[in-house]
Amino acid sequence: FYTALERTKYHKVCHLKTSPQQAFLELFKIIMKAEMRTLELGNYAYAIKSMVSKPFENHTVEAYLLQDVFYNRTQYYAEVIQLNIHRLSSKYFVCNPQSRNPDTFKKFEKKTPLVSLTPQESDIKNGKVIVGLQLTIVFDVLTFQIMQAPLISNFYVNATQSEWIKTYNQHSLANNNTVVEPYHWKLMMKELTVPENTVLTGIGFRYDSKNQLDIQLKYTPVLNATTGELDVLASGWMAERHDAQMTKEFSTKVKASASCEVDPFPDMPNGQCLLMKNLGNGHQANWIPYVETQQVVPQPMMALSGAGITHKGHDDCGGFLAPVTLTLSDYYTRSVGYEREFTLDI
């Protein structure tokens, strides 16, 4: 099962609805529920047997033995999780859709592509955190869209109150600095993880000290994992510097994104820049890569520990820009409001 969850370029697992790490935890939650039902039914059976047996039979010893077996097995499961969970990735991205049509991607229509520097933030004052991402183009401006939901216990959220925050026309904003032209039309592929014991509450594009377009994340500490209370005043923004890497450039034989077979997995390392390319002629622009607009929302919904942007494709195919989310693990949250070393929300 562990091997089946590993997602690599050579093992393309596309059926997962969450990260491999979280899928690993979800399996053990199912096992734990089954173990608890077994314990309950066993105790019930011994109680009924004691009531109907003549003469009366005391099965207290058997009940305690059944309980000891339950504790030993659950402790073993906890050890298996702690020994193996760090070996699986917390990254979640969506593979290619079954059919490439205009509903699954967007592209820049104008001669000069634009990127919004307006950050997208969840409503932390009302206890809401980011649970999903979408990369899209609004009036020819590249921007993120976020899904938010109220945080509840154990870093899960109230999915019934989840909602996408609408991104408005970026050109209509009063501050002209919110829409910029990418420096040399380069974007940095980046995945960031927020500090320990915090959750993702904002994301946006920014320029780094070298005038390179990059991403930034907003984080908010969690005061109590049992109640889902956020430390709003301690929120902050973070970015990360990377050593210079060779910029990825498309070959002269590159094809437009929608006219070639695209690898459903990211093909660039974290921190590498991608040089966009215009395949259009004259005033008709055809910028590659296109922007994949599939919604990336791990199931079950939960708070996120990070996010980023990646590229799916290869040198001879324009490919697609796509968002990436990072789920939370027990290792990441064990010190936030927990009394026991290991906690499994079942």
Report how far residue 11's alpha carbon sits from residue 3's, in angstroms, rounded to the nearest whole number. Answer: 10
β-strand pairing of 141-150 with 114-116: parallel
Report how far residue 246's alpha carbon sits from residue 269's, in angstroms, rounded to the nearest whole number. Answer: 11
Q: Check residue 185 and give its pLDDT.
A: 77
Asked whether 141 and 205 are in contact (CB, 8 A), the reply is no
Q: Check residue 280 and give its pLDDT.
A: 81
H, E, C per residue of 195-220: CCCEEEEEEEEEECCCCCEEEEEEEE
- At 75 the three-state DSSP class reads helix
β-strand pairing of 317-327 with 290-292: parallel
- At 138 the three-state DSSP class reads strand
Please state whether the predicted TM-score (pTM) of the whole model is above 0.75: yes
Q: Check residue 298 and give its pLDDT.
A: 95
Domain boundaries, the chain: 20-88, 91-329
Reading the chain (346 residues) residue by residue, the pLDDT tens digits are: 667 777 776 677 888 899 988 888 888 888 889 999 998 998 888 888 888 877 767 888 888 898 899 899 888 888 888 888 888 889 999 887 766 777 888 988 777 788 888 899 999 999 999 999 999 988 888 999 999 999 998 889 999 999 999 876 555 554 544 566 666 678 888 899 999 889 999 999 988 777 778 899 999 999 988 889 999 999 999 988 766 677 888 888 888 888 887 776 788 888 888 888 888 876 778 888 999 999 999 999 999 999 999 998 877 888 899 999 999 865 554 544 443 333 444 3
- Give the closest residue to 330 by CA, choosing from 101, 61, 88: 88
Report how far residue 275's alpha carbon sits from residue 326's, in angstroms, rounded to the nearest whole number. Answer: 25
Q: Check residue 291 and give its pLDDT.
A: 93
Q: Check residue 159 and give its pLDDT.
A: 94
Q: Check residue 343 and give its pLDDT.
A: 41
Distances (CA, A) of 18 to 23, 66, 80, 191, 260: 6, 34, 20, 17, 27
H/E element, 25 = helix 20-52
Report how far residue 274's alpha carbon sits from residue 139's, in angstroms, rounded to the nearest whole number. Answer: 22
Q: Check residue 332 and give its pLDDT.
A: 52
DSSP class of residue 117?
Answer: -
Angle, in degrees to the nearest 10, between helices 60-84 and 20-52? 180
User: What is the C-alpha R_g of the chain?
Assistant: 24
Residue located via tokens 């955190």: 129
Q: Check residue 309 and give its pLDDT.
A: 94
